[in-house]
């Protein structure tokens, strides 16, 4: 790679804002129309916002961690930033596109880098029907919720819900229930990433459900359709010494 024109975006962290000013003094202040790489300064949540905010640019994005976990980020150090970026490893991620129909028949769309999740809104458990590629797979799932995760998101909410960790280059998605009550023994499924997934919310007035694409929530949904976003590819850059594949492998041996 020969990337020389960084466009810095930052969270509200004072440290991140100060670092952005320092980096722009050193490397130049390029606009989103002039740049050839995006540098996101913040945590994982901000990284997801930055990716989706500049999705139309189709540029690689390099994150520097000013948050807590920083699974999608690179560590701060004293190495030359531009050199680090050009020596980094690029991971291609295919986002998910959600279309959520609400009780008033409005359709809301959202893009998810990590996962789309359905969550109960009240004390009543959610009751869902699951269809994959126009074939009903579960007539009724009673649960706290369910999520459909990309490989990059499989170590996030999906892992906390006891879903499988997926290799980053695998052409699959993880379908993981959250506190399944019936069928109690169902632990989810691994499906092809080309699959068209639809959730129908049963008894939606009695058991209201919200749909969340990463950090964008739509409440009182009655139907949610999810498919791979074929119009966009996300290129995330990781330090060659600490690759994303290595991070995912390490997660599988943590206790």
Provide CATH 2.60.200.30 ranges for the chain: 96-228
pLDDT band at 246 (very low <50, low <70, confident <90, very high): confident
Question: Is 6-93+233-251 in CATH node 3.40.50.10330?
Answer: yes
Q: What is the pLDDT of residues 138-162, one digit of tens each?
A: 999 999 999 999 998 998 899 999 9
Provide CATH 3.40.50.10330 ranges for the chain: 6-93+233-251
Q: Which residue, 237, 213, 239, is CA-closest to 227? A: 213
pLDDT number for residue 251: 73
Domain 96-228: what homologous superfamily?
Probable inorganic polyphosphate/atp-NAD kinase; domain 2 (2.60.200.30)
Q: What percentage of the chain carries pLDDT values higher than 70?
A: 99
Active site residue 44: yes
pLDDT at 255 over 70: no
| Mean pLDDT, residues 91-109 | 95
Supply the DSSP symbol for 181.
Answer: -
Interstrand relation of 234-238 and 61-65 (parallel, antiparallel or unpaired)? parallel
pLDDT number for residue 39: 97
pTM: 0.86
Out of 121-130, 207-216, 243-252, pick the least confident.
243-252
Write down the catalytic residue from 33, 44, 54, 139.
44
pLDDT number for residue 31: 92
| Mean pLDDT, residues 44-61 | 91
């Amino acid at each position: 790679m020969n990337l020389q024109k960084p466009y810095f975006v930052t969270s509200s962290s004072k440290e991140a804002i100060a670092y952005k000013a320092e980096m722009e003094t050193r490397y130049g202040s390029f606009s989103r129309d002039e740049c050839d790489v995006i540098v996101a300064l913040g945590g994982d949540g901000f990284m997801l916002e930055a990716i989706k905010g500049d999705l139309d640019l189709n540029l690689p994005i390099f994150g520097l961690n000013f948050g807590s976990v920083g699974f999608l980020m690179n560590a701060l150090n004293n190495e030359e930033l531009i050199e680090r970026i050009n020596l980094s490893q690029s991971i291609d991620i295919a986002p998910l596109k959600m279309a959520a129909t609400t009780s008033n028949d409005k359709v809301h769309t959202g893009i998810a880098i990590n996962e789309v999740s359905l969550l109960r809104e009240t004390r009543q458990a959610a009751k869902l029907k699951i269809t994959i590629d126009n074939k009903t797979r579960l007539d009724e799932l009673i649960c706290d919720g369910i999520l459909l995760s990309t490989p990059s998101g499989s170590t996030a909410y999906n892992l906390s819900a006891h879903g499988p960790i997926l290799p980053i280059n695998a052409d699959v998605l993880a379908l993981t229930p959250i506190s399944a009550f019936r069928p109690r023994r169902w632990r989810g499924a691994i499906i092809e990433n080309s699959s068209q997934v639809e959730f129908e919310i049963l008894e939606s007035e009695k058991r209201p459900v919200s749909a969340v694409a990463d950090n964008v929530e739509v409440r009182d949904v009655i139907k949610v359709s999810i498919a791979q976003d074929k119009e966009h590819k996300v290129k995330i850059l990781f330090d060659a010494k600490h690759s994303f594949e290595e991070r995912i492998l390490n997660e599988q041996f943590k206790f």
